Structure 1
Amino acid sequence: MMAASAAQAQSLLRDSSHFQWYVIPLLLLVLYAYGEQAAERRWSVVLAGLAFWLMDWINEIWNGLLFHFSGFAPAWGTPGSSAYVILIGLNIEISFMFAIMGLFAVRLLPRDRSLTLFGINNRWLLACVNSVLCVIVELWLNHIGALTWEWRGWNAGAPLLIWLIGYMPFFVVAYWVHDMASHRRQIAVVASLAGIVAAGLGVFAGGLGWI
């Protein structure tokens, strides 16, 4: 049986009648943020930010598939007000947020990759701490009903998977891409992630209509 929150989110899916003009300045802010990094020739930051953003798309695709095959609910849903719901757990506002968050996450990184804080490599420590902070924000969003969780093991009482799967991979991959010595290798990884996302959306959304 489909959860009520999932049915509500599904009813909003890709309905352009909810468009709001604030989407345009949000898009310009994202373009400005990336443009600023590109102008300073911080290509590692730009590519790491894109990797972070693409990792969220990969999560959103499997979340949509979970809803399709279970017929019950996605791991997370966005049934609330939005200018455009792209996938059942992803709206346009969230997508823009993750695009900016990726830049912010890598700009926090110390220059020294081997620096340890409290005996832990700074990359791993920041990935863990930032993921915890993101989960705290999600707990609040769930509390006010903007983000819904219906599955046992993925909810406010059991946030471990949200931390481990929902956020840690984003930061780990972004930091990994950022620290690569070769721009060519960074581009190859980001292009591979983009290919996975494009294929997933093309097949599961465009072709099969599952998500």
Structure 2
Amino acid sequence: MTDDARAALEQLRDASQFEWYVIPLLLLVLYAYAAEVERRNWDVLFAGLALWGMDWFNEIWNALVFHFSGRAPVWGAQGDTAYQILIGLNIEICFMFAVMGIVAAKFLPPRGTRVLGLPNRPVLIAVNSAAAVGVEIVLNRAGVLTWEWDWWRAGFPFVLFLVGYVPFFLACFVVHDMPRVRTKAVTVGTILGIDALALAVFGTLGWL
């Protein structure tokens, strides 16, 4: 086991680290969603939940990599946190991803708008994913986000781009553009349902 993985494991789900700033952060996240419900802006609401659900999916398989390798997760969350949920996910990161999809969806132009002559959705998926990878590289250099595998690193960012973020924004935008609210709800419910089932099963087995 790497030193960084051991350090993250030591603070995993340690309630003694709780800090009161979690409460106002939670309220801000809830406010962001409540505002969309108030406006009946279901496109943005479900887009935000879709991206958040995709992040949970990634965090779960990352924890499984750590469990089965016994060496390290693909990425690990380091440093001070109010609560370490999974080996690569703390409460602050969780709240960030809960809002990220809402922000990304609000910046979406109409589907027919073209960027440099190209359909805007693929361009924005690429741009948002590249920007997110850039932020991760900064966090890694700061020592708060650790990478232990050669194929997941700043010098070879393509896997981060394709696996780490393209699915997030793809799900976010696809759900946003679905024509029926029922379809959005079923899709997001399926994503979150898979996450919940995985958390329950793998958590019970002690793999997370």
Q: Pick the TM interval, shorter chain.
A: over 0.9
**Which SS does the other structure have where 2:147 is aligned?**
coil
For 2:43 and 2:114, the matched residues in 1 are separated by 21
For 1:68 and 1:198, the matched residues in 2 are separated by 19
Fraction of identical pairs, as percent: 54
Kindly report the root-mean-square deviation, in angstroms, between the aligned alpha carbons of the 2 structures.
0.7
Match for residue 193 of structure 2?
A: 195
For 2:112 and 2:55, the matched residues in 1 are separated by 27
Q: Normalising by structure 2, what TM-score?
A: 0.98
The answer on whether the counterparts of 1:131 and 1:163 sit within 8 Å (CA) in structure 2 is: yes
Q: Normalising by structure 1, what TM-score?
A: 0.97
Match for residue 183 of structure 2?
A: 185
Match for residue 83 of structure 1?
A: 82
**Superposition pairs of residues 22-37 of structure 1, within 5 angstroms:** 22-37=21-36
Q: Select the residue among 169, 181, 188 that pairs with 1:171.
A: 169
Shift of 1:116: 1.9
Match for residue 127 of structure 1?
A: 125
Shift of 1:79: 2.2
Q: What letter corresponds to residue 172 of structure 1 in structure 2?
A: L
Q: What letter corresponds to residue 200 of structure 2 in structure 1?
A: G
Q: Which stretches of structure 1, 4 residues or longer, exceed 2 Å deviation after superposition?
A: none
The answer on whether the counterparts of 1:12 and 1:79 sit within 8 Å (CA) in structure 2 is: no
Match for residue 69 of structure 2?
A: 70
For 1:68 and 1:86, the matched residues in 2 are separated by 15
Shift of 1:63: 0.2
For 1:104 and 1:143, the matched residues in 2 are separated by 25
The answer on whether the counterparts of 1:15 and 1:85 sit within 8 Å (CA) in structure 2 is: yes
Q: What is the aligned length?
A: 208
The answer on whether the counterparts of 1:132 and 1:163 sit within 8 Å (CA) in structure 2 is: yes
Q: Deviations over 1:110-137 (max 9, x none)?
A: 12x1322123210111110011111111
Shift of 1:24: 0.3
**Structure 1 stretches lacking a partner, 5+ long:** none
For 1:59 and 1:42, the matched residues in 2 are separated by 27
Shift of 1:174: 0.6
**Which SS does the other structure have where 1:77 is aligned?**
strand
**Which SS does the other structure have where 1:148 is aligned?**
strand
